[in-house]
A = this chain, B = another copy of it.
Amino acid sequence: MSPASLASFLDQARTTVDSALDRYLPTPPASPALVCEAMRYSVFAGGKRLRPVLTLASADAIDRRNHDRPLDASAALALPAACAIELIHTYSLIHDDLPAMDDDVLRRGRATLHVVYGEGIAILAGDGLHAEAFTLLAREPPAEDPAIAARKLRVLRVIGEAVGSAGMVGGQAIDLQAAGQAPGHALTLTAETLRSMHARKTGALIRASAVCGAIMAGADRVLVDAIDRYAGDVGLAFQIVDDILDVEGDPASLGKTAGKDAADAKPTYPAFFGLARSRQLADECAERARQTLTDAGLTAGWLPAIADWIVRRRN
């Protein structure tokens, strides 16, 4: 994997991930046709694949650091984790879009899953993707080598903790409470709980994406920690930019309803800090992320460019 630019790396990584997802997703008759169809509808809805891209880019950075070569053998080792994380991300979007949660009818420019298949099947498709993700991690890559088995168990734990009640699920619960959707348990957000909510809701899985790539490529504890700090800053920048784009973005290029956060009285960075200061905060995150890479000797590869891409994106 030695493409000439970030754009071509992103293209290659997305093609690799999409084709692996297609291979990994269940098919009839082993699984009922309707639930297979519903899962694919959401998985292949044209996402950015930020998380699997981070997994592969992190494995690549570790390979360049430790073996002075771009990603190759490690791609095979890291690819199942990259795909499992995208399956989990997709499940979380399906459940977040439900009427009882954010009640969104449009996602990535298409009708959301529950609009097309009904709420029951949408809940189940999310649950199915959640389970398939862990099954995939347990199954792939094959682990006759005890070192690989140990890495897989670490990855399973890192992802499980990132998406459970301490991570993604906990962040979404805080979000519901702040939006007044948990009867009798409303919560008023401060800037600090806003940060904590985002750290859980989107930050934890973005960090896990990068960390799992590093673990599968055989990074030692010091490098894994550096990748984790890098991804923490990238994840926060991503969320701040997401909030900014919801205020000033173009619905056509966003693929979702702009201004929805404000309409829903959602806690956001621009609401707390204003647009200019929010933009500055995002830039500071990207700068810290790049500095972490420099300090750890991880500047070869695509991680620095990904940090820039995250803050400059328009959708």
Contacts and interface: CB of A to CB of B under 8 A. Distances in A.
A191 B137 CA distance: 35
Contacts of A176: 120-121, 124
A123 interface: yes
Contacts of A36: 165
B169 A35 contact: yes
A35 B160 contact: no
Nearest to A185: B34
B128 A156 contact: no
A131 B182 contact: no
Residue in A31, A150, A166 with the greatest tally of chain B CB atoms within 10 Å: A166
A263 B20 CA distance: 44
Given A31-B165, A135-B157, A157-B138, A101 B127 contact: no
Interface of A: 26, 30-32, 34-36, 39, 95, 98, 100-101, 117-121, 123-124, 126-128, 130-132, 134-139, 143, 146, 149-150, 152-154, 156-157, 160-161, 163-166, 168-170, 172-174, 176-177, 181-183, 185
25 contacts: A26-B164, A31-B166, A31-B170, A34-B182, A35-B170, A35-B173, A95-B123, A95-B124, A95-B127, A120-B182, A121-B176, A127-B127, A127-B169, A128-B164, A128-B170, A130-B130, A131-B164, A132-B164, A132-B165, A135-B156, A135-B157, A136-B160, A138-B160, A143-B153, A156-B156
Given A127-B127, A135-B157, A138-B153, 10 more contacts: A26-B165, A32-B170, A100-B118, A100-B119, A117-B182, A120-B182, A124-B176, A132-B160, A138-B157, A143-B150
